[in-house]
Chains A and B, each alone.
Chain A
Amino acid sequence: NAGVTQTPKFRILKIGQSMTLQCAQDMNHNYMYWYRQDPGMGLKLIYYSVGAGITDKGEVPNGYNVSRSTTEDFPLRLELAAPSQTSVYFCASSYYPGEEQFFGPGTRLTVL
């Protein structure tokens, strides 16, 4: 049981490049989330999903896209990277929306 896994762990992008952050969970959780964590700040919700095929915007969705074709996977897409997207990105999942969220180890992204 691996829990929530994220790849890559680190990435440096140039302005305007695109990339996909991968997230997978093997706990059969319906709910999945993407957060970003900026230095000295709390976590901000980017997008979330309540099940395969269903996604919705969180607090800071601009510049990102998501898809949820399976229960297990919830990739986050950055289309045109900007320096403001330099952050640590965490994926999380939960069985119910009000219950404990399980977090992945994070992806540290730098946009130069």
Chain B
Amino acid sequence: GNSVTQMEGPVTLSEEAFLTINCTYTATGYPSLFWYVQYPGEGLQLLLKATKADDKGSNKGFEATYRKETTSFHLEKGSVQVSDSAVYFCALNTGNQFYFGTGTSLTVIP
């Protein structure tokens, strides 16, 4: 079946630290991969996406590369800010349905 596994949180980093949130997936076919971000009290917002192997999605300094050989889509940012504090969800879409990971809570302290 289809599923997404994310690293468990919570993650606490100092401002300007490097961020990696691991995400691996299991899927039939050729899914599209997504990272969504949820700020406190809000709904999910698309952060970035990649639709095929070796594609790199990027937005707001965040990046993730679709690695078919390792079935991974790890989220990275070189220098986090306090405003990046949120919950991050990895997700895959098979064309019919989204499958979300459990979310990773990130807190960035000044």
Binding site for B on A (CB under 8 A): 4, 33, 40-43, 45, 48, 58, 90, 92, 97-98, 100-101, 103-106
B interface residue numbers (CB < 8 A to A): 4, 32, 34, 41-46, 49, 89, 93-98, 100-103
Min C-beta distance of B21 to chain A, whole Å: 14
A106 to B78, CA, bound (A): 31
Task: List, sorted by A's number, 25 A–B pairs whose CB atoms are closer than 8 Å.
Answer: A40-B102, A41-B102, A42-B89, A42-B100, A43-B44, A43-B89, A45-B98, A58-B97, A90-B43, A90-B44, A92-B43, A92-B44, A97-B93, A97-B97, A98-B32, A98-B94, A98-B96, A100-B34, A100-B46, A100-B49, A103-B44, A103-B45, A104-B43, A105-B42, A105-B43
Chain B positions within 8 Å of A43 at CB level: 44, 89, 98, 100
Knowing A42-B89, A42-B101, A42-B103 are in contact, say whether A97-B46 is a contact too (CB < 8 A): no
Q: Bound state CA distance, A42 and B95, in angstroms? A: 19
| B109 vs chain A, min Cβ distance (A) | 22
Name the contact of A98 in the complex, choosing from B4, B42, B44, B95 (C-beta under 8 A): B95
The majority secondary structure among interface residues of chain A is loop
Scoring A33, A48, A98 by chain B CB atoms within 10 A of each residue's CB, the highest score goes to A98
**The 8 nearest A-B residue pairs measured at CB:** A103-B43, A42-B100, A43-B100, A42-B102, A103-B44, A98-B95, A100-B46, A105-B43
Given contacts A97-B96, A97-B97, contact A42 B4 (CB under 8 A): yes
- B residues within 8 A CB of A33? 98
Contact present for B93 and A98 (CB under 8 Å): yes
Chain B residue numbers with a CB within 8 Å of A103 are 43-45
- Closest A residue to B4 by CB, please name it: A42
Of listed A58, A103, A105, residue having the most chain B CB within 10 A: A103
**Chain B positions within 8 Å of A100 at CB level:** 34, 46, 49
For B49, the chain A residues whose CB sits under 8 A away are 100
Residue among B34, B45, B89, B98 facing the most chain A CB atoms (10 A cut-off): B98
CA distance A97 to B97 in the complex (A): 7
